[in-house]
Amino acid sequence: MSTTLAAGASLELSTVQQIFVIALCALTAFISHMALAVFNDGVRPFLLDFIQGRSKRSSVTAVSFGLSAGFIFGLGAPMALSTGVLNPWLLFLPTDILGLLAPKKWLAPILGGAWGALVVFGLNGANSVAHDLPVDFLTAMQQMSTPILFLFTLFPVLAITKQFGRMWGGIAGLVEVVLVVATMKLWPNMFAGALAMAVGVLLLIGLAVAKDLRRRKADRAAGVTEPVIEGEDPMASLFSASAARLRKYLPLFMVLGAGVCVLAQMHVFGGGEASSFLIAKGQYAEAAQLDFYRVFGFIPLIATTALASGAYGIAGFTLVYPIGYLMPNPFLAAVVGAAVFAVEVLLLSYIGKLLGKLPSVRDSSEHLRNAITDTLQLAILFGSLMAANAMGGGLGILIVGGLYLLNEAMNRPVVRMAAAPTAVIIGGVVLNVLYWLDLFTPLKG
């Protein structure tokens, strides 16, 4: 199976798609303004003080900008330009910021819609200009697809090793490699890591559930019971109030779920780094599979932060991504997306209680998230160096690798995940300047 995109991936959207993206950005900014949901998981915990009036809108906006800017310009924009597919970092992180920034309710959707318009009308123009440059760094960035897709396959192995030790990690790694080789041989048109990831994630969940069941059985045999809390549990009270706040706005969340699901159904949007490349190549079933596995890593995080803060995620548990990819038409996607968000919001309290009784499963989620981050950081760095080599050979590697190392030495003013793609773009600009100064000759092919 080829993992290389066709050269010159573009961001051309139909008029209906353009209008829809603008409207969805307006909606997400409005919801952010009301502190009902944000996309950035790191911002959500700060919203409780804002909701309860203990912090100002300006301070929460500053936090949101500080935690999101690197991902917007260092990851979201480069990924969209190199794949021709929109992503949540480019669309929803800015609407987090703009929604929180807006002092008036009516202004938030205007600012969000304006950002959406800038993306759909401006980004394709930047794409065309970049592809016309002597050093086409956007086409070079498509070199990132192979390491991202294949190294991402290993995230269950890392999670299993961290949680259950080297033996189980070694077994999982061996099984995944065998399955990747078998898939490439027997089903060459299928993404080679699809079956391997499925088995890896199932093995992790199975080990975690088995550990929790053994613990509960041992506790019962030893006569250990759960402690009874006298009076009202303050955390339970907070969780209940947060869940009630979100249920109050259930119709608005259903509209949001419908919108995100329809955007995914249009196949102009990818929910993750790896799935964006698969969407760009038209492999929607494989993209759905990848984003479905990510859900297991984020349900506990999103559920607990939502219950603690009273603010949900713009994409919910992100189930609407893989569901949307597979929907046959936008009308069905809207209905299903609304239903999924309704179920998620209504079951939020129950999910929180269930997670409290399954600590190993909850820990597996954290290990999955960390493993996803670790694999993608290496894949993006390696892919960025491949892009640097494609556009400038040794000089390209020197510039891009040097900028990445400089960012590390300066205590990462640009977050690590976004540092390498940012370095590729800066390196591409530098190589074009050197060409115009007659100091560099672009590589052929």
SS3 (DSSP) at 157: helix
pLDDT at 232: 47
Q: How confident is the model at residue 236 (pLDDT cuts 50, 70, 90)?
A: low
Burial of 334 (0-12, 13-18, 19+ CB in 10 A): buried
User: In which residue are the tokens 């300047």 written?
Assistant: 433
Question: DSSP states of 10-57 as a string?
Answer: -----HHHHHHHHHHHHHHHHHHHTTSEES-TTTGGGHHHHHTTSS-H
- Reported as a single tens digit per residue, the pLDDT across 255-269 is 999 999 999 999 999
Pick the closest to residue 321 from 279, 374, 367, 372 (CA basis). Answer: 279
- Reported as a single tens digit per residue, the pLDDT across 54-71 is 889 999 999 999 889 889
Q: Dihedral sign, CA of 168, 169, 173, 174? A: negative
Q: Structural domain boundaries of the chain?
A: 15-151+232-436, 153-221
pLDDT at 31 over 80: yes
Work out the mean pLDDT of the chain and round it to a whole number: 89
Q: How many CB atoms lie within 10 A of CB 218?
A: 10
- Reported as a single tens digit per residue, the pLDDT across 329-376 is 999 999 999 999 999 999 998 888 887 788 888 888 889 889 999 999
pLDDT at 444: 67
Question: Which range among 27-41, 198-212, 220-234, 238-252 shows the weakest confidence by mean pLDDT?
Answer: 220-234
Beta bridge pairs of residue 37: 312
Q: Dihedral sign, CA of 408, 413, 419, 424? A: negative
Q: What is the pTM of this model?
A: 0.88
| Sequence-distant (≥ 6) Cβ neighbours of residue 48 within 8 angstroms | 308, 309, 310, 311
pLDDT at 305: 85
Pick the closest to residue 419 from 370, 376, 371 (CA basis). Answer: 376
The count of residues in the chain is 445
Token representation of residue 190: 């299928």
pLDDT at 192 over 90: no
Alpha helices by DSSP H, 77-222: 77-83, 88-101, 107-131, 137-141, 145-152, 155-164, 166-186, 194-221
Q: How many CB atoms lie within 10 A of CB 42?
A: 13
Q: One-letter amino acid identity for 286?
A: E
Q: How many CB atoms lie within 10 A of CB 66?
A: 12
pLDDT at 7: 44
Q: How confident is the model at residue 383 (pLDDT cuts 50, 70, 90)?
A: very high
| Sequence-distant (≥ 6) Cβ neighbours of residue 183 within 8 angstroms | 190, 191, 192, 193, 194, 195, 196
- Reported as a single tens digit per residue, the pLDDT across 70-81 is 899 888 988 998
- Reported as a single tens digit per residue, the pLDDT across 140-165 is 988 998 899 899 999 999 999 999 99
